[in-house]
Amino acid sequence: MESTAHDFKHNVSDALANPNLQDSLAMLKVGFSERRRLAAERLPEFELLRDRARDIKNHALANLDFYLEEFERKVIALGGHVHWAPTAADARRIITDLCKSVGARTVAKSKSMVAEEIALNDHLEEAGIAPIETDLGEYIIQLRKEPPSHIIAPAVHLTKDQVADTFLEHHGPLGFTKRLTERNDLVAEARYVLRQKFLDADVGLTGANFLVAETGSSMLVTNEGNADLSNTLPKMHIVLATIEKVIPTLEDAAVLLRVLARSATGQESSAYTTLNTGPKRDGDLDGPSAYHVVILDNGRSSVLGTEMQEILRCIRCGACMNHCPVYGAIGGHAYGWVYPGPIGAVLTPQLIGVEEAGNLPNASTFCGRCESVCPVRIPLPKLMRHWREREFERHLTPKAVRQGLALWSFLARRPKLYRRLTGIANRVLALFGRADGRYGTLPLAGGWTRFRDFPAPQAGGTFHAQWARHGGARTRP
């Protein structure tokens, strides 16, 4: 998708002025975090499992080449195919060619953030192949021609009424002419419409939550069962997954599954967790006759061994955005590209360039709530800070910030001069603010005073001035 990350501040203004979005975010902020908290409390081993999940992913990353080769060997042994795609363009070409090889007209797609990352739908459409999103949220936003606003709840920015209008507009021509008002009716209508599309699809395309090296299996976690229909009904199943999805064994998967569902939705387990291993076997009554795995790099191998490596542990649960107060204020679209929230603030500059997405790692208070809930303990604030350091090194930091910082650091390194100047500043500010105790406007502080009053300093001089004046004794009771 076309990035608008460079326009972040403009996106923010739009998001804050969008009442439907703000209503949806109000629900998200309490819902997800409370459910996750309860789920974590119900499992005494949860913190130990998080440690283990982190260690498993670290081990897999340290031996990534080995496990990818092992995975490939197992897939081939059971009659599947593995395709290696260094770039997004390679993956798009491989998938389009595979679809063409079976004369596909429609592709049933199960929600895949990687497919969003490589803008697969646009390319399939250009090749005359219709991608049909089957995850309910993805389906809704596909009809509305919007990008996802959340990695596990792509339509979380919409209200029920907006969905009802969208369905009326798009399902009306299919004979569904009543505007629905109940959620369960909306779900039932989508189920009915999509069921036929599943039955007609030539290819099923899914992502993967994990690739299991031990068995050559792709593992998918959903609640709806759409991924399972996508990998069962069409004659070809294509799995699109990035290199860091590979994990060693099924035992490792068990650990990761335990933290994934709880972190994502607060469920003990998602409704469907499915292992697919190769195509339909002899005697099977259903299943695809061809099974292809497309392994995409798209820049990830170059992240290994760098200070950003820890981001490759991510299992895409969405907990970081569910708990992020910035995401909670502005929603996912404001981030301007595929991955929103704290994970997006780290990943997006990596994938589309820090020149384009430089605002994202800066738009954080470093409150640390994301890190505190991350199931694989990614130090997201630290990684955002690394981006700020790279921006600073490359002189991408805004000029006003650099100049302010230069002046401040000059003073901060000269304590005596600093002391004299803060003494003056304190007295001047106190003098002007004494009547009200605060300022409604203040020169050079428009960013603050546009929305907030600015408290005036206490009278009597700075702390250090008072301390010195009285020879190191207290001046206030």
Per the structure block, which two tokens stand in for 178?
């009543």
CB 332 within 8 A of CB 157: yes
In sequence order, which ranges of 319-436 are alpha helices (DSSP H)?
A: 319-322, 325-330, 341-352, 354-357, 359-362, 369-373, 380-393, 399-412, 415-433
State which residue, 128 or 408, has the beta carbon closest to other proteins. 408
Q: Can you tell me whether residue 76 is helix, strand or coil?
A: helix
Question: How many residues are there in the chain?
Answer: 477
CA 365 to each of CA 326, 377, 403, 407: distance values in angstroms, whole numbers, following the listed order: 8, 18, 21, 22
State which residue, 128 or 414, has the beta carbon closest to other proteins. 414
CB 376 within 8 A of CB 314: yes
Closest distance of CB 446 from other proteins, Å: 8
State which residue, 194 or 351, has the beta carbon closest to other proteins. 194
Closest distance of CB 347 from other proteins, Å: 17
State which residue, 133 or 356, has the beta carbon closest to other proteins. 133
State which residue, 121 or 218, has the beta carbon closest to other proteins. 218
CB 416 within 8 A of CB 464: no
Nearest in space to 16 (alpha carbons), one of 330, 335, 337: 330
Element (H, E) at 217: strand 217-222
Closest distance of CB 433 from other proteins, Å: 8
Closest distance of CB 180 from other proteins, Å: 11
State which residue, 128 or 347, has the beta carbon closest to other proteins. 347
State which residue, 83 or 92, has the beta carbon closest to other proteins. 83
CB 120 within 8 A of CB 294: no
Dihedral sign, Cα of residue 146, residue 152, residue 155, residue 156: negative
Closest distance of CB 314 from other proteins, Å: 17
Closest distance of CB 232 from other proteins, Å: 5
Q: What are the backbone dihedrals phi and psi of residue 212, each rounded to the nearest 5 degrees, phi first?
A: -100, 115
Closest distance of CB 384 from other proteins, Å: 9
CB 298 within 8 A of CB 351: yes
Q: What are the backbone dihedrals phi and psi of residue 454, each rounded to the nearest 5 degrees, phi first?
A: -110, 120
**Region of residue 342 (left: phi > 0; alpha: psi -120 to 50; beta: else):** alpha
Closest distance of CB 75 from other proteins, Å: 11
Dihedral sign, Cα of residue 412, residue 392, residue 401, residue 387: negative
Using CB atoms within 10 Å of the CB of residue 58, give its burial: 0 to 12 exposed, 13 to 18 middle, 19+ buried. Answer: middle
* Cα–Cα dist 93/90, whole Å: 5
State which residue, 130 or 405, has the beta carbon closest to other proteins. 405
Closest distance of CB 1 from other proteins, Å: 20
State which residue, 90 or 102, has the beta carbon closest to other proteins. 90
State which residue, 12 or 343, has the beta carbon closest to other proteins. 12
CA 9 to each of CA 6, 324, 336, 403, 437: distance values in angstroms, whole numbers, following the listed order: 8, 18, 10, 21, 32
State which residue, 101 or 448, has the beta carbon closest to other proteins. 448
Closest distance of CB 236 from other proteins, Å: 14
Closest distance of CB 128 from other proteins, Å: 25
